[in-house]
Amino acid sequence: MRQFISRKTVKVPRYKLYYFILVIAVFLIFFFNLFINFFLKHVSEEEFLNVLVGNSLGGVTNYRFSNLSENYFYQNVFGFKLFQDQDVLKDHDSLEDVVMQDLNEVVYIYNTFQTDQYQSNYFNSYSIASYVTQASFILKEELEKLGVGAMVEKESVVEVLKENNIPYTNSYAGSRILLEQRVKEKSSLKYYFDLQLSDYDREETTMEIEGVSFAKILFVIGTDYGNYQENQKFATELNNLLESINPSLSRGISLRGGTGYHGVYNQDFSPHALLIQVGGVHNTIDEVNRSLEVLAKVLAKYILGG
């Protein structure tokens, strides 16, 4: 009669098995990371990337990289700081922000009446209104292309009015609060432009150059404060530069004060504070965009002294 010998099965706790697998995985990753760094120290970064990208893109091996930061491609891939980090972004959200922050912000662009709108064109298809705030961001972009750092006020003037119990009819008091706050935060700011639009007829606010329409530009100076002549002088210099490019683009300088006018427009804050009307309610954002390209050149030439 055959005898059966029973064998005792040893059961390994599941958590020990998981722990063992985890330890093995950590060691593999660590040694693989060491190998990669050792390998890349002895291989040209450019050649390695050329082969890598070439293989990824179907054998195209003639792609070239340049100006690579040291070890940037492979450092910390696995979380081990075998090389010193280069803090590129710091507090910035993107590399684009890093580039823009390299420019010293000297221009502050704001809109006392942020809800004023230009005439809608193809934006209607997307239910997007062409607010005057768009003009501010366009001007900022054009200035930065020319090497002049600028910032646009993003906070709501209406909310500031509500928080401080200021009536809408005194909107300049609201934009003044934001203006003073930004200057405290950014000591580099020197030029302050309140972009607005006019309610004049289209014929008054539009001109054409070789069949292409532009929004005309008007500099507005308040006269109800003691030193307005300094702001007027600043506006005159800018207007002369504008007219040197094309006199038809300018609507000139408007002095406003007394009954029916606000008469200050926050220009008492600085001799380099101006109210600039770019086009009017009958102009499209495209026409405004073309004019802002020219205005940016004027401002950049004055600021940079070119």
Asked if residue 5 is part of any domain, the answer here is no
Asked if residue 6 is part of any domain, the answer here is no
Which long-range CB contacts under 8 A does 28-31 form with residues at least 24 apart?
29/78, 30/78, 30/80
Written as six digits, the tokens of 22 are 């985890």
How far is the C-alpha of 88 from the C-alpha of 99, rounded, in Å? 11
Q: Where are the alpha helices (DSSP H) in the chain?
A: 14-41, 45-56, 95-101, 132-145, 157-163, 171-185, 202-205, 228-245, 285-304
65-117 tens-digit pLDDT:
344 444 434 444 444 444 444 454 455 555 455 444 568 999 999 999 999 99
Round the average pLDDT of the chain to a whole number and report it: 81
13-60 tens-digit pLDDT:
666 777 778 888 877 887 777 766 666 565 555 555 555 444 444 444
Same domain (yes/no): 53, 111:
no
Same domain (yes/no): 175, 235:
yes
In angstroms, how far is CA 149 from the centroid of its own chain? 10
How far is the C-alpha of 297 from the C-alpha of 299, rounded, in Å? 6
186-212 tens-digit pLDDT:
999 999 999 999 999 999 999 999 999
Same domain (yes/no): 69, 185:
no
Total domains present in the chain: 2
Per-residue pLDDT at 189: 98
- 3-state SS assignment for residue 38: helix
Same domain (yes/no): 82, 205:
no
**Would you say residue 164 has pLDDT above 70?**
yes
Same domain (yes/no): 33, 65:
yes
Assign residue 134 the CATH number of its domain. 3.40.630.40
| Residue 66 CB-half CA count within 13 A | 2
Same domain (yes/no): 129, 235:
yes
How far is the C-alpha of 299 from the C-alpha of 18, rounded, in Å? 66
Same domain (yes/no): 209, 252:
yes
The model's pTM is: 0.67
Domain C-terminal end among 61, 86, 111: 86
Query: What is the rounded average pLDDT of the residues 255-282?
Result: 96
Same domain (yes/no): 228, 134:
yes
Asked if residue 3 is part of any domain, the answer here is no
User: Under a CB-based contact definition with an 8 Å cutoff, are residues 132 and 199 in contact?
Assistant: no
Asked if residue 48 is part of any domain, the answer here is yes
Asked if residue 120 is part of any domain, the answer here is yes
Per-residue pLDDT at 76: 43
Find the angle CA(24)-CA(27)-CA(33) to the nearest 5 degrees: 140
Same domain (yes/no): 128, 225:
yes
249-263 tens-digit pLDDT:
999 999 999 998 999
Domain C-terminal end among 53, 86, 119: 86
Task: Indicate the burial class of 295 (C-beta count within 10 angstroms; 0-12, 13-18, 19 or more).
Answer: buried
Same domain (yes/no): 99, 70:
no
Asked if residue 2 is part of any domain, the answer here is no
Same domain (yes/no): 283, 261:
yes
Per-residue pLDDT at 125: 46
Asked if residue 7 is part of any domain, the answer here is no
Domain C-terminal end among 56, 86, 116: 86
Asked if residue 143 is part of any domain, the answer here is yes
Range of the domain at 38: 12-86
Amino acid at 74: Y
Give, in order, the Cα–Cα distances in Å from 118 to each of 128, 159, 199.
11, 22, 10
User: Under a CB-based contact definition with an 8 Å cutoff, are residues 274 and 235 in contact?
Assistant: yes
User: Under a CB-based contact definition with an 8 Å cutoff, are residues 109 and 62 in contact?
Assistant: no
Same domain (yes/no): 82, 121:
no
